[in-house]
Amino acid sequence: MIAISIDHLVKKFGTHTALDGVTLRIEPGEIFFLLGPSGCGKTTLLRSIAGFYEADAGRILFDQEDVTKVPPHRRNVAMMFQNYALWPHLTVERNVAFGLEERKVPSAERKKRVAEALAAVRMEGYAERKIGQLSGGQQQRIALARALVVRPRALLLDEPLSNLDAKLRIEMREEIRHVCKQFGLTAVYVTHDQKEALSISDRMAILLDGGIAQVGPPEEVYRRPASRQVADFIGETNFLSGTFHSAQGGHWRVETEFGRFEGVPTIRDWQPNSGDKVVLSIRPESWKIGPEANPANSVRGQVTASTYLGEIAQYEFAAGHQRLKVFELNSLLSQRRGEQELFLHARPEDVAILRD
């Protein structure tokens, strides 16, 4: 279990700067996610931690040890890839034992550690199977066992579940978190799947254009995005333009085309002046639909389109020139379709106030 510190890391590919002075600390035993759009630098950062890329500037430390120039095989980290990278001609046991063979671990110790690793991922009894005899989920478990068996200082995961179907992804999310916590591993995980990140991570970093846009626990990043770009990237949201009016306690008042809104600022040490432009971010599930307006945080309009998804319904809500997204749990969809005029309302705690 180690802390991983990234200190002003720069990585360039020709004239393109993939990482632009990234500074980050990942705590011992933490499951830390790197998220961002394609080309933001998250995979470059992961591969730099692994030692596959040499930094152009900055440092990488494992605890107090500077590993910036240390080759991958001497960093004692394990990496899981989206394609599993298993050898189909070898048995499960030989696949899992491969790293131990490379390290010249004695045969008896190898067998013991392979058995322990297979038990950790609930694959006892599969040691003699060939890889081609396993399902995708079982192959992913074997890849995880192979990573664990070398007892790495950290586990690095690059889109490990992208080749699995939806049900298996959910199952393996829980498995990976369980195993990482059981073994006390520091894990750094790259994914495009935001639900994966929200459900597994202790903390996450949003990368945009080679830099860190926000770091925090999943609930904080989702509910209190630090910028419009972060709010737009993580989950779905509605943006309302307004002007700052005043601050009262922990809530700020904003004037919008729909009237007064009260919300919570998400940026530390930011205090706009009265009349300054701001943006409100309101998640679709934060809206409540009703027949009457509230004194603040209300929008009048109509449901113009709907999609029924069983546990929730998704609505398009026409309000003036805007089309708002609304998610309603256990919706009476047939009733909503017949209603002419409705009001949306959001609690102040669910209204994030951002810089314009």
> Which residue ranges in the chain fall short of pLDDT 70?
332-339
Cβ-Cβ contacts under 8 Å for 121 (sequence gap 6 or more): 141, 142, 144, 145, 148, 175, 179
Q: What span, in angstroms and rounded, lies between the C-alpha atoms of 213 and 230?
A: 7
Look at strands 57-62 and 65-66 and give their pairing: antiparallel
* Structure-block tokens of residue 52: 């596959």
Look at strands 203-208 and 31-35 and give their pairing: parallel
Locate all alpha helices (DSSP H) within the chain, ordered by sequence. Answer: 42-50, 92-102, 107-120, 136-149, 166-183, 194-200, 218-223, 228-233, 333-338
* Structure-block tokens of residue 168: 């298996």
pLDDT score at 198: 92
pLDDT score at 352: 97
Sign for the CA dihedral angle at 39, 45, 47, 53 comes to positive
Nearest to 46 by CA among 86, 17, 14, 18: 18
pLDDT score at 320: 87
* Structure-block tokens of residue 37: 């759009």
* Structure-block tokens of residue 51: 């030692």
Q: What span, in angstroms and rounded, lies between the C-alpha atoms of 149 and 76?
A: 12
pLDDT score at 179: 87
Nearest to 234 by CA among 188, 288, 196: 196
* Structure-block tokens of residue 161: 């579940």
Is residue 146 within 8 A of residue 98, CB to CB? The reply is yes
The model's pTM is 0.89
Domains of the chain from N-terminus onward: 4-225 (3.40.50.300), 236-355 (2.40.50.140)
Look at strands 77-80 and 154-158 and give their pairing: parallel
pLDDT score at 83: 77
* Structure-block tokens of residue 206: 């949003």
What SS3 class is residue 40?
coil
CA separation (Å) from 219 to 103, 200, 215, 293, 303?
Answer: 41, 12, 11, 29, 29
Q: What span, in angstroms and rounded, lies between the C-alpha atoms of 328 and 317?
A: 12
CA separation (Å) from 334 to 293, 330, 339, 342, 343?
Answer: 22, 12, 9, 15, 17
Q: What span, in angstroms and rounded, lies between the C-alpha atoms of 315 and 308?
A: 9
Residue 191 carries which side chain, given as an amino acid letter? T
* Structure-block tokens of residue 271: 């205090």
Backbone angles phi, psi at 159, to 5 degrees: 50, 50
